[in-house]
Structure 1
Amino acid sequence: MTVRPLRLCVFGDSFVAGVGDPAHRGWVGRVTEHALGELPIDLTVYNLGIRRDTSSDVRARWQSEALARFPRECDNRVIMSFGVNDTTLQDGSLRVEPAETESTLAAILEDAASHGWPTLVVGPPPIADEQQNTRTAALDERLAALCQGLTVPYLHTFSHLAGATSWMREAAQRDGAHPSAQGYSDLAELVRADIAAWLGTPAESVGGRV
Structure 2
Amino acid sequence: MQTIVAPSVKPLGQVNSHPLKLVALGDSIVYGYGDPEGGGWVERLRRRWMLPDSPGHVLYNLGVRGDCVKQVQERLEQEFRHRGELRNRVPDAIALSVGVNDSARLARITGRNFTDFEVFQAEMAALLEKAQHLCPVLFVGMVPVDEEKMPFFDCLYFNHADQYRYKEATRLACVARQIPYLDIFDLWLDRGKDWWRSRLTPDGLHPNVLGYQALLQDVLNWEPMQQFS
Q: TM-score w.r.t. structure 1 length?
A: 0.82
* Corresponding residue of 1:180: 208
State the secondary structure of the residue aligned to 2:103. coil
Q: Which runs of 5+ in 2 are unaligned?
A: 1-15, 149-157
* Corresponding residue of 2:153: none
Q: Which runs of 5+ in 1 are unaligned?
A: 201-210
* 1:4 pairs with one of 2, 11, 18: 18
Distance 1:60 1:72 in 2: 26
For the pair 1:14 / 2:28, whether they are aligned, the reply is: yes
* 2:123 pairs with one of 76, 98, 104: 104
Distance 1:139 1:39 in 2: 39
| AA in 2 matched with 1:144 | R
Q: Which has the higher helix share?
A: 1
Distance 1:19 1:188 in 2: 14
Alpha-carbon RMSD across the aligned residues, in angstroms, is: 2.5
Q: Deviations over 1:41-67 (max 9, x none)?
A: 431111111111111111111211111
Distance 1:165 1:120 in 2: 29
Which piece of structure 1 moves more, 47-56 or 74-83? 74-83
Q: Which structure's CA Rg is the greater one?
A: 2
Shift of residue 32 of structure 1?
Answer: 3.3
Q: Confirm or deny: 8 A CA contact 2:33 2:39 kept in the other structure.
A: no
Distance 1:58 1:113 in 2: 14
* Corresponding residue of 1:87: 103
Q: Confirm or deny: 8 A CA contact 1:161 1:187 kept in the other structure.
A: no
Distance 1:104 1:41 in 2: 34
Distance 2:120 2:69 in 1: 6
Shift of residue 76 of structure 1?
Answer: 1.8
Distance 2:219 2:194 in 1: 16
State the secondary structure of the residue aligned to 2:122. helix
List aligned pairs for 1:1-210, cutoff 5 A: 4-35=18-49, 41-71=55-85, 73-74=87-88, 76-91=92-107, 92-115=111-134, 117-129=135-147, 132-162=159-189, 163-171=192-200, 174-194=202-222, 195-199=224-228
Shift of residue 97 of structure 1?
Answer: 2.1
Shift of residue 37 of structure 1?
Answer: 5.4
Shift of residue 170 of structure 1?
Answer: 4.0
Distance 1:83 1:39 in 2: 35
Q: Deviations over 1:126-175 (max 9, x none)?
A: 1111761111112112211111111111111001223424442242x511
Q: Confirm or deny: 8 A CA contact 1:167 1:179 kept in the other structure.
A: no
Distance 1:37 1:82 in 2: 28
State the secondary structure of the residue aligned to 2:72. helix
